[in-house]
Structure 1
Amino acid sequence: MSTDYQQAREALGLRLRELRLTAAGDGLTGTQLAQRLGWPHSKVYKLEGGRQTATRDDLRAWAEAVGQPGAFEELAARLKGFESHIRSWRRQLAAGHRPVQDTWNVAVDRARTIHAWEESVVPGMLQTADYARHIFLRYANLYGTTRDTDEAVRSRMERQAWLYQGGRRLHALVWEAALHALVCPPAVLVAQLDRLTGTIGMDTVELGVIPLGASLKVPAANGFWILDRQVVVAEDWHAELWLDDAETVASYVRVWEALRESAVYGVDAQNVISEARRHVNSRHRGHH
């Protein structure tokens, strides 16, 4: 469990305790409140100590039992707040990249449809092992975190099995800039571009490339993934944001749809990738 999530649970627990202690009269003891609610005594202390996650029903019952039904909305908003996790990279990567990849695998495995947008790298689900290795090393250097690169690469490659299961669909959009970005040696990038070309025409993948010269409805800003139109995972330099409230998800879907209008597909996408491949080869022929 992320530390951010735990901190939010503890903050909610402190607020619940405050409501209990300021209940009409001289407040309530934990035992009295538990009796009023018909709960085991331990549940009151677990909720207050941030050792158990409250449900909306728990919060409504608590607010009513302490004589402050009006506090329910505020408590529910707090609960909603930590359902949208901000997973700080420093904390997440403390144990290396592998656990982060494993968490992703669980989320992806449940999804039937994924919409992805990447402006500076090839999407993880379409990466070669060599390309992924260089990406992980760049981040490990940046954050000074554990280098478990091989395990992280294996975990990311396991995730790609999703692409070979029926009834799944990855709608990936990539900005052409990502096809030229040397976040790895040129030979690795060339192999990665070949792999991308190979995904065009797969029945589980719809790959759109937005050419650098394309007219854009919205700026080509940070990458994000939408899982089943229920959860958005967006990456920033400080954290990975897991967002699940309907309004936020809807706005990311709108951004994705707006970007999609600038993309080319099929043969046109192949041509953009081939051009990038030629460009990488010609620029770096002298380096081989």
Structure 2
Amino acid sequence: MSTDYQQARVAFGISLRELRLTCPSGRLTGTQLASALGWPHSKIYKCEGGKQTITDDDLRRWVDACGQPDKFDGMLARLRGFESQIRSWRRQLSSGHSPVQDSWNVEVSRSRVICAWEESVIPGMLQTADYARHVFMRYGAFFGTAQDADEAVRTRAKRQAWLYEGGHTLKVVVWEAALRALICPPPVLDAQLDRLAGLVGMNSVELGIVPFAASLKLPTANGFWIFDERLVVTEDWHAELWLDDADNIRLYSSVWAALQESAVYGADAHSVIHAARRSLNPR
């Protein structure tokens, strides 16, 4: 979790505590507020201490219980402001994977140059439908989220049209591990690698592969995407981070440049892809 995000959550918790202590009818103890809301006592102090993020509905109930419903709109705006930086998978996937893809499609459509690094999967904008379906199915099974893999595949596929529109460039660097990870059956991965090989040399795609044997300036780590030097999106197991501050954008741009120096392109990239395909069908 980012330091800025945690500081914002702690500050928000202090505001919640102030509401409790400034009730028009007299200050409430944490125990009294918990009783009024029907919550465990610990939830009050987790929210006030910045250890738990309050939901929109819980915020409404909190301000009402404290007799200050007029404070709801302002506090909701603050809550949504800092939550826009860290997007919990639990919340995002409550309606399935397709809405998440819609959010990505909006950012892709706004961009002219996208730089991406992926260490474990083929980048979404380059995935075949079958490969993407298996990725969504694996995440859906793990998180216990709505099984809308087919709809998510269709939504993700829409952003691939961006590659064929003039004036756009996708600069993507992929670790060789992503070419060999069996997140799907071998025939599906083979077809995916065939598509990847076909993209080498495409005008709107600069595809670099970092071979296992390459010397690295930095360890490989989580994948991330940089949109026009205005937004970085990176993933962890608990959430997506959407970072739009200049310092983080410069940091991720420097990381991408360092990883890109280890990549091979053109015929050398073809060789790494074909080696991965041969490993699927040993003779």
Specify the TM-score bucket, using the shorter chain as the normaliser.
0.7 to 0.9
Instruction: Give the Cα separation in 2 of the matches to 1:156 and 1:197.
Output: 20
Cα shift at 1:198: 0.8
Deviations 1:219-245, CA, capped at 9 Å, x for gaps: 011100011111110010111110111
Partner of 2:278: 278
Cα shift at 1:281: 1.4
Partner of 1:253: 253
1:187 aligns with 2:190: no
Cα shift at 1:79: 9.2
Question: Are the equivalent residues in 2 in contact too, given 1:97–1:146 (CA < 8 A)?
Answer: yes
Equivalent position SS for 1:203: coil
Q: Which amino acid aligns with 2:116?
A: A
Q: Which amino acid aligns with 1:277?
A: R
Partner of 2:155: 155
Equivalent position SS for 2:207: strand
Cα shift at 1:111: 0.8
1:208-227 maps to which residues of 2 (within 5 A)? Answer: 208-227=208-227
Cα shift at 1:16: 10
Which ranges of structure 2 fall in alignment gaps of 5 or more residues? 23-69
Q: Which amino acid aligns with 1:138?
A: R
Q: Which aligned runs of 4 or more in structure 1 are off by greater than 6 angstroms? A: 8-11
Number of equivalenced pairs:
231
Instruction: Give the Cα separation in 2 of the matches to 1:184 and 1:274.
Output: 18
Question: Are the equivalent residues in 2 in contact too, given 1:172–1:207 (CA < 8 A)?
Answer: yes
1:134-153 maps to which residues of 2 (within 5 A)? Answer: 134-153=134-153
Partner of 2:116: 116
Cα shift at 1:83: 6.9
Instruction: Give the Cα separation in 2 of the matches to 1:146 and 1:184.
Output: 19
TM-score (norm 1): 0.74
Partner of 1:33: none
Question: Are the equivalent residues in 2 in contact too, given 1:131–1:192 (CA < 8 A)?
Answer: yes
Deviations 1:148-195, CA, capped at 9 Å, x for gaps: 010000001111001001100000000001111100000000000000
Instruction: Give the Cα separation in 2 of the matches to 1:157 and 1:207.
Output: 19
Deviations 1:103-142, CA, capped at 9 Å, x for gaps: 1101111011100000000000000000000000000011
Question: Are the equivalent residues in 2 in contact too, given 1:137–1:147 (CA < 8 A)?
Answer: yes
Partner of 1:27: none
Instruction: Give the Cα separation in 2 of the matches to 1:281 and 1:175.
Output: 21
Question: Are the equivalent residues in 2 in contact too, given 1:84–1:245 (CA < 8 A)?
Answer: no
Partner of 2:102: 102
Partner of 2:205: 205
Cα shift at 1:95: 0.6
Partner of 1:41: none
Instruction: Give the Cα separation in 2 of the matches to 1:153 and 1:79.
Output: 28
Cα shift at 1:280: 1.2
Question: Are the equivalent residues in 2 in contact too, given 1:201–1:266 (CA < 8 A)?
Answer: yes
Q: Which amino acid aligns with 1:193?
A: L
Cα shift at 1:14: 7.3
Q: Which amino acid aligns with 1:210?
A: V
Larger Rg: 1
Change (3 A) 1:250 1:89: same
1:9-88 maps to which residues of 2 (within 5 A)? Answer: 12=12, 15=15, 45=71, 47-48=73-74, 50-51=75-76, 53=77, 82=82, 85-88=85-88
Deviations 1:250-276, CA, capped at 9 Å, x for gaps: 110010000000000011101110111
Question: Are the equivalent residues in 2 in contact too, given 1:13–1:47 (CA < 8 A)?
Answer: no
Which ranges of structure 1 fall in alignment gaps of 5 or more residues? 23-43, 55-77
Instruction: Give the Cα separation in 1 of the matches to 2:207 and 2:164.
Output: 15
Change (3 A) 1:12 1:117: same
Question: Are the equivalent residues in 2 in contact too, given 1:101–1:152 (CA < 8 A)?
Answer: yes
Question: Are the equivalent residues in 2 in contact too, given 1:218–1:258 (CA < 8 A)?
Answer: yes
Partner of 1:127: 127
Question: Are the equivalent residues in 2 in contact too, given 1:128–1:195 (CA < 8 A)?
Answer: yes
Cα shift at 1:15: 3.6
Question: Are the equivalent residues in 2 in contact too, given 1:125–1:159 (CA < 8 A)?
Answer: yes
Q: Which amino acid aligns with 1:191?
A: A
Instruction: Give the Cα separation in 2 of the matches to 1:147 and 1:273.
Output: 31
Aligned-residue identity in percent? 64
